[in-house]
Structure 1
Amino acid sequence: MSETEVIESLPSDLQGKVRNWLKYDKVEETRNEILQLCLKGDITELHKRLDTMIAFGTAGLRGRMEAGFNRMNALTVKQASQGLAKYIKKQFPENLTVVVGHDHRHNSRLFGKVTVDTFLQLGFKVFHLNHENEKSLVHTPLVPFTVNATGASVGIMITASHNPKMDNGYKVYYTNGCQIIPPHDKLIAESIIHNLEPFSSPQTGTIIDCKEKMTKKYIDAIGSTLIDGAVNKKTNEPWFVYTPMHGVGFEIFESISKQLLSLEEGKDYLVVEEQKYPDADFPTVSFPNPEEKGALDLAVEYGRKNDTVDLIIANDPDADRFSVAVRDNDQNTTTAWRQLTGNEIGFLFAYYEWERYKHSPIDEPLAMLNSTVSSQMIKRMAEIEGFHYEDTLTGFKWLGNRALELEQEGYYTPFAYEEAIGYMFSSVVHDKDGISAAIVFLQAYSKWRASGQTVLDILATASLKYGHFKEFNGYYIVPDLAITKQVFDAIRSIESPYPKKLGSSFEIIKFRDLTNGYQSDTPDHIPELASDPSSQMITCEMLLVEQPTSRVRFTIRGSGTEPKLKVYIEARTNTEPNSIALAKFTWDVLRQEWFKPELTGLLTPFQ
């Protein structure tokens, strides 16, 4: 059967879509993938792949690598690059410069090449971070760093971060080195739609190999701004374990830790050999994210087998996230390890930066930030210690841009974080950076250890001073995306203008709805954070009726990338056990009063 006959055998509403795919796609593998679906008569799958475009948003593109307009592949990367390049050319006609980097995932090199070739066709100067050889890989933070270092108009990193192995992504940074925010995302998406047919023009731009130079500048930036001095090694045996989680982190971590902290693999630290080098199949973990249950099991085994080791640090595959586990001596066993939460790590960084600031000659007022779904502990710390604190919408696109604004207003803003193990050190990049985080944490840990304190001691002391903050985060699976809006609308309908109670146990003292644009405690009831009618997000602060000094803050939101309704709960009471219990109790009351899964159809992950 000829290609024409195959197409004509399909329903009429698919014929034009298949014809366009086969006309535009130049990669034999993905062309054949669509043809095979046609020959099988898999009409449902063809509609899934071809009816809509993969969505471009503030996170760029991310999705499963398959053939089709709604998937990650060379053609959709080409179309995204064409639209982005055209948009940037209009924005910065006198500065046609772009930074491109990629990690080790399947097809990352191909997608990187497609991106570079597209920008070259439009006359851009391309600062290429992977060009010198086929095995050259970079970690994500090097792209925004290079955007700032070169004065480029835009940067693109090909990575799916910590997503499963079948995914890939296309992450965009604006000329300020931050991830894009509205309205750029929508304007770029419109530009993509107007530039779907692949260009055939000659390449008139230039390409510059810059990995070596930019890596040196990156290391110098960390050395000049984040290094306080040599770490206290204490022994001549390994005292921590590092894992890059089958990603790109080891190469850059080894270089920086050796050059700036005089740390040597084998002597000062151990690397999880099974996860040491880039492997796009992530064979030892079910999900390549240090947050996920079981992801650090191999690293913990290394710790258990080495009595001198009391710390584990980890990066995710593209090394922009960072996680920590410590030996827990309170458990009266040498094999007990405790993985810190993203909020606990965030507080430890904030505490360390506050201590540095107090003993520094810096004149500018201090400011620190985290996202609205993260802990309020550094807010409480800021209130007591007297520095400036703000929260932002979720995502480093907001944290990075707001940090820049505060710096322009005269603040010293060294640090920001999000509970999903993302940590930003503004002197290097205005985005999360797992390598900078690792270098800072090793110094902080060494300093505290030298003074006879563990990180658990620091957290315990802080809880006595600032309060016991404990979280209970989770999510519901949404089998039908329409359910999310139905659940949120039902909550809003409980009482006007907002619910004043949650069951009989809680009094709501602050209510913020970033979908409808309402906040109960502002003079005009306009939220302090930007509203978005296209997404669902509500934040409440409550007191426990029977014990008004006990407080709870929670945020519920619909995920923009997954079929989930996410729930972030944090309780503050006078003791740690009470806070843990109150956070869990809040989850149960929310389930009973607002989410009602037996009626709404929401599912918990174990169902």
Structure 2
Amino acid sequence: MSSIPSIICDDCPANLRENIDLWLRQDKCEETRNEVIQLCKDSNWIELHKRFDSRIVFGTAGLRSRMEAGFSRMNPLVILQASQGLAKYIKAQFPTNLTAVVGHDHRFHSKQFAMITASVFLRVGFKVYYLNPEDSFVHTPLVPFSVNHLNASIGVMITASHNPKMDNGYKVYYSNGCQIIPPHDKNIAATIDENLEPWSSDWNWDSTFEKNLKEKKLVYVREEMTNKYLQAMKDILVSSSISRPNNNGKKPWFVYTPMHGVGYNIFTKISKNILHYEENMDYFVVKEQMYPDPAFPTVSFPNPEEKGALSLATKLAEENNISLVIANDPDADRFSVASKNEKTGQWQQLSGNEIGFLFASFELEKYMSQDIEWRRTHPLAMINSTVSSQMIKKMAQVESFHYEDTLTGFKWIGNRALDLQGQGYYVPFGFEEAIGYMFPTMVTDKDGVSAAVVFLLAYSYWLNNDGSYPFDILEKGFKKFGFFKEYNGYYIYDDPKTTKQIFDFVRYQYDTSGNPYPKNIGKEFKIEVFRDLTTGYQSNTIDNLPNLPVDPHSEMITIEAVPKQDIGKSKVRFTMRGSGTEPKLKLYIEAVADNEKCAIDLAYEMWNVLKKEWIRPDVTGLTTTF
């Protein structure tokens, strides 16, 4: 197909015409070509500007956007161009190991995008291990797991995780099974830009698959890798000494929902073959959300964290006198829990930080049950991201094990876990507050299925050991380490420049006394530690160099403060950062105090003080629903 200038109306803006003509020349997909042609016929220049004025940027999370025609969206041409650049970069990095793993979830166009990705790698000489024979789906963690077990150089998973139904994504894992970190992200982006012209006019992906299957360069490995994943789960995460909970003969004892995603198949295999749980005997599955459905019909937003997302699950549990609900997000790399508080009788969804503490507590108990000699040669370490709770940092101080925080994202958590393992540490767990949990001896990325299994084992252990429920474990932790309570939220902006203006106001204008950073926030809080990972300054380190990597292109400030009004040992820590993917300025606030009410009130007070002193919606135009 060639470009069709005649369909572009005479009144097409000059700064659009060139990009549209280029698109129509390069794109061989009839659906997306017709989409652009129709927009031109409708003279919808505003929409066309949105899609063609900029190109989607490849970052550490790969690509993610709405599925539409245009250089800034997810579509066959953009997937082709990204795969060409990625394949060329990886070929240069690993010239003697041209192997790739490709998988996809159940979203609209995921199969098509995965076939394009695999075909590009095949055409430049790679052997491709493909996880999706016929119309099957896989959960995201199986890709990094397979990268490690097949010694592949690269892995690509087509998924948009818990994004809205019309989004899709292109998630990349490096040869170590972790998401990519700098400088690979920028190098890959540059190589993509150098390889935007399609290498071939042949877009017959079916014939490419057929040819390479015969030549054994394309290998279907879903069954093999799933079996290895189950075996690893049994060997690494499941203790034979932990059985079902002693819950007074109640059966079933939990409800599971895969949130219209891919989790049901793998979860039920593990439940039956490893945990020896039987569906409808030990647990119920939410029927309306059991099978993969890219339309996500029962939820407005397919994220277990969203209000109302677990309503069907808790309703099913309540009807059957069950007090535990567990959930995966659609690609099963995240995990959430709702539980009925045995003392109050009320249902409560646990926060990502609370679940993180419960996992850390369980892993510590398991570690301490090992003999002294094993512990001496396997020093314990745990990790979370800097926007997550500091409660396990306090736990580490009290219990004498190693703790570190990282930048936001599992690309940092996973890579740091490998570094620590290389230094001789035993690293059983890492997490991020956005319901992501990693068990790095299994997979060096968040894994919602592993999290579900470990949580069920922990729940059984606590109940059998001393009759404790999750809220009891949390209460014990609060009493021992302090009451840690969060108030996380975000502001929305129209102009991306607003974020930098707010951060620069904090750095250079808020405190006019000549200090390198503000000493106070209003009349309410005194700043004790100030860390700016954009400018590269930290107030409490030698030479004031930050203890985490600096990125001048990403706005991020973390502060530790104390209330000026003396209320004991209370402290507040918060991170303010600009989102890299959404028009949001995010705030992660956590207060610690010697009682729950004080911690809750203090976190909320900090939100309000920051709103008044730094965010200033009446000046900046930012809006929030928090």
For the aligned pair, the TM-score class normalised by the smaller chain equals: over 0.9
Choose 358-367 or 550-559, whichever is displaced more. Answer: 358-367
1:6 equivalent in structure 2: 7
Counterpart residue identity of residue 411, structure 1: Y
Alignment of 1:138-177 (within 5 A): 138-177=138-177
Q: Structure 2: how far apart are the matches of 1:427 and 1:97? A: 23
Give the secondary structure class of the aligned counterpart of 2:190. Answer: helix
1:224 equivalent in structure 2: 235
1:319 equivalent in structure 2: 332
Choose 201-210 or 402-411, whichever is displaced more. Answer: 201-210
How far apart are residue 15 of structure 1 and its match?
2.2
Is 1:276 the counterpart of 2:290? The answer is: yes
How far apart are residue 505 of structure 1 and its match?
1.3
2:353 equivalent in structure 1: 343
Alignment of 1:558-569 (within 5 A): 558-569=578-589
Contact between 1:99 and 1:152, CA under 8 Å: does it hold in 2?
Answer: yes
Counterpart residue identity of residue 171, structure 2: K
Choose 116-125 or 227-236, whichever is displaced more. Answer: 227-236
| 2:573 aligned residue (550, 553, 562) | 553
Deviations 1:81-100 (A, max 9, x none): 00000000000000000000
| 2:551 aligned residue (512, 526, 532) | 532
Contact between 2:99 and 2:128, CA under 8 Å: does it hold in 1?
Answer: yes
Q: Structure 1: how far apart are the matches of 2:245 and 2:456? A: 10
Distance 1:26 1:105, change over 3 A: same
Give the secondary structure class of the aligned counterpart of 2:489. Answer: strand
Is 1:193 the counterpart of 2:198? The answer is: no
Alignment of 1:489-504 (within 5 A): 489-493=504-508, 494-495=510-511, 496-504=515-523
Q: Structure 1: how far apart are the matches of 2:193 and 2:604? A: 46
Give the secondary structure class of the aligned counterpart of 1:465. Answer: helix
| 2:537 aligned residue (510, 518, 521) | 518
Give the secondary structure class of the aligned counterpart of 1:549. Answer: coil
Contact between 2:391 and 2:481, CA under 8 Å: does it hold in 1?
Answer: yes
How far apart are residue 292 of structure 1 and its match?
0.6
Q: Structure 2: how far apart are the matches of 1:475 and 1:8? A: 42
Q: Structure 2: how far apart are the matches of 1:12 and 1:356? A: 66
Give the secondary structure class of the aligned counterpart of 1:330. Answer: coil
Alignment of 1:383-394 (within 5 A): 383-394=397-408
Give the secondary structure class of the aligned counterpart of 1:293. Answer: coil
1:266 equivalent in structure 2: 280
Segments of structure 1 that go 5 or more residues without pairing to the other structure are none
Deviations 1:223-282 (A, max 9, x none): 001011242243261000000000000000000011111101100000000000000000
Q: Which runs of 4+ in 1 moved over 3 A?
A: 201-205
Deviations 1:521-543 (A, max 9, x none): 00111100001111110000011
Q: Structure 2: how far apart are the matches of 1:14 and 1:63? A: 21
Contact between 2:323 and 2:339, CA under 8 Å: does it hold in 1?
Answer: yes
Q: Structure 1: how far apart are the matches of 2:603 and 2:437? A: 24
1:576 equivalent in structure 2: 596
Deviations 1:407-439 (A, max 9, x none): 001100110000000000011110000000000
Question: TM-score of the superposition, structure 2-length normalised?
Answer: 0.94
1:505 equivalent in structure 2: 524
Give the secondary structure class of the aligned counterpart of 2:542. Answer: coil
Deviations 1:13-61 (A, max 9, x none): 2222111111111111100000011111112221211121111000000
Q: Structure 2: how far apart are the matches of 1:370 and 1:14? A: 45
Counterpart residue identity of residue 179, structure 1: Q
Give the secondary structure class of the aligned counterpart of 2:102. Answer: strand
Contact between 1:8 and 1:15, CA under 8 Å: does it hold in 2?
Answer: no
Segments of structure 2 that go 5 or more residues without pairing to the other structure are 203-207
Deviations 1:181-207 (A, max 9, x none): 001011000111111111128869610
Is 1:464 the counterpart of 2:479? The answer is: yes
1:439 equivalent in structure 2: 453
Contact between 1:58 and 1:185, CA under 8 Å: does it hold in 2?
Answer: yes
How far apart are residue 122 of structure 1 and its match?
0.4
Alignment of 1:85-484 (within 5 A): 85-130=87-132, 132-134=133-135, 136-200=136-200, 206-229=217-240, 230-234=242-246, 235=249, 237-307=251-321, 309-331=322-344, 333=345, 336-361=346-371, 362=374, 363-450=377-464, 451-484=466-499
| 2:562 aligned residue (526, 543, 555) | 543
| 2:45 aligned residue (43, 48, 53) | 43
How far apart are residue 328 of structure 1 and its match?
1.3
Q: Structure 1: how far apart are the matches of 2:45 and 2:620? A: 31
Q: Structure 1: how far apart are the matches of 2:9 and 2:340? A: 65
Contact between 1:514 and 1:529, CA under 8 Å: does it hold in 2?
Answer: yes
Counterpart residue identity of residue 184, structure 1: H
Q: Structure 2: how far apart are the matches of 1:605 and 1:90? A: 48
Deviations 1:279-333 (A, max 9, x none): 00000000000001110010010111011x11100000000000001111222x4
Counterpart residue identity of residue 33, structure 1: E
Q: Structure 1: how far apart are the matches of 2:491 and 2:564? A: 27
Give the secondary structure class of the aligned counterpart of 2:495. Answer: coil
Contact between 1:477 and 1:605, CA under 8 Å: does it hold in 2?
Answer: no
How far apart are residue 571 of structure 1 and its match?
0.4
Deviations 1:481-505 (A, max 9, x none): 1111111100012232000111111
Deviations 1:348-389 (A, max 9, x none): 000000000011243310000000000000000000000000
How far apart are residue 479 of structure 1 and its match?
1.6
Q: Structure 2: how far apart are the matches of 1:147 and 1:296? A: 33
Counterpart residue identity of residue 219, structure 2: I
Counterpart residue identity of residue 66, structure 2: R
Contact between 1:233 and 1:268, CA under 8 Å: does it hold in 2?
Answer: no
